[in-house]
Copies of this chain bind each other. A is one copy, B any other.
Amino acid sequence: MKMIVSIKRHVGAKKNPILAAILATTLLGNLSVSAMGNAKEKKAGKVGKATMADVLKASSASDWHALNPENTMYLEMEKGRVIIVLAPEFAPNNVANIKALVREGYFDGLAIIRSQDNYVAQWGDPHDEDNQKREIKTAKQKVAAEFTVPYVKAFPFTRLKDLDGYAPEVGHVNGFAAGRDPKSKTTWLSHCYSAVGVARGNEADSGNGSSLYVVTGHAPRQLDRNITVVGRVVQGMELLSSLPRGTGALGFYEKAEQRSAIKSIRMASEVSETERSHLESLRTDTPTFQALIEAQRNRGGDWYKVAAGHIDLCNVPLPVRPTKN
């Protein structure tokens, strides 16, 4: 019987950062600091190895920072709220235009127009090709592409030591997975699960933020440097990833009734305090984050038999949790 119980608990890792963070606060395990973050040591035994839950439990208040309401967007759907954090440091013009669209209520009443399995969900105006097309009032019709930006010294890049085939260097900046190229001194957000970007046509500057997509499958990293990434979903991802797939080409919905409505998109800063979701995310420029990466690179706990000794950029968890108070 015990075997059956443990089958239910199989496939070790918790990939839902919120769940993981909440679990972390309820686990009884104690953290041996000396066992943390020894990145070069391949796991020989399990003794003393910290799990992600251990690392989060041992984190201090200063390891977390509250989401900035000026850069946090609420996408309200019938089934709940999707929370998106924008990254103006990586796409200043596109983020500014998205905020302008949000402020003018552009997205309110529009819909999720596409869900392609193992790829992306996309939202925008279902009527963008007919005479019911929604007009853009105050935002710009055209915004230059921001596929890469120059290194921003003010924002520390926490480099991941692990091999990556898609970029010369990968790591994290301000809670986002990113690549960078020391030759061109450019950096960009990577297409990991939950990354949000600006849909475009064949012309590089044909997107303006009025149609956005989110990665819902295995990281399509070939898109990196080909399209403007503006942020990531930090909560409610399952509302977008579990949508029925569209049956048209590229996963577009073929009938109006197949689309999910967008009730509204609002900036958190324009929502009353009582209606806000108060969240904080783990800072990515701390020893705690390094310890978390190591805990995932060589898993602790009783379940794993072989340590991977490696972690892919898009497998690094970026925990978010409710703020306490």
User: Which of A89-97, A214-222, A285-293 touches B?
Assistant: A214-222
Give A240-281 as 1s and 0s: 1 = Cβ < 8 Å from B's Cβ atoms. 011111000111100000000000000000000000000000
* A120-B4 Cα distance, complex, nearest whole Å: 18
Q: Which residues of B contact A308 (CB under 8 A)?
A: 166, 221-222, 224
Residue of B nearest to A219 (CB): B218
The answer to whether the Cβ of A104 comes within 8 Å of any Cβ in the partner chain is: no
- Copies of this chain, complex-wide, total 2
Give A11-38 as 1s and 0s: 1 = Cβ < 8 Å from B's Cβ atoms. 1111110010001000000000000000
Q: Cβ of B4 and Cβ of A221 under 8 Å apart?
A: no
CB distance from A77 to the nearest CB of B (A): 13
Q: Cβ of B119 and Cβ of A166 under 8 Å apart?
A: no
Main secondary structure of the interface of A (DSSP, over half): loop
The answer to whether the Cβ of A70 comes within 8 Å of any Cβ in the partner chain is: no
Q: Which residues of B contact A238 (CB under 8 A)?
A: 117, 244-245
The answer to whether the Cβ of A207 comes within 8 Å of any Cβ in the partner chain is: yes
Most buried by B among A14, A117, A193, A296: A117
Residue of B nearest to A215 (CB): B218
The answer to whether the Cβ of A303 comes within 8 Å of any Cβ in the partner chain is: yes
Q: Cβ of B241 and Cβ of A117 under 8 Å apart?
A: yes
The answer to whether the Cβ of A223 comes within 8 Å of any Cβ in the partner chain is: yes
Q: Cβ of A165 and Cβ of B163 under 8 Å apart?
A: yes
Q: Cβ of A220 and Cβ of B296 under 8 Å apart?
A: no
Q: Which residues of B contact A323 (CB under 8 A)?
A: none
Q: Of B16, B119, B201, B226, which one neighbours A118 at CB under 8 angstroms?
A: B16
Q: Cβ of B305 and Cβ of A204 under 8 Å apart?
A: yes
Q: Which residues of B contact A199 (CB under 8 A)?
A: 7-8, 10-11
A residues with CB within 8 A of B: 1-16, 19, 23, 113, 115-120, 122, 124, 128-129, 133, 147, 162-166, 192-194, 199-204, 206-207, 211, 213, 217-227, 237-238, 241-245, 249-252, 296, 299, 302-306, 308, 310-312, 314-315
3 pairs of A and B residues whose beta carbons are closest in the complex = A6-B201, A165-B310, A222-B308
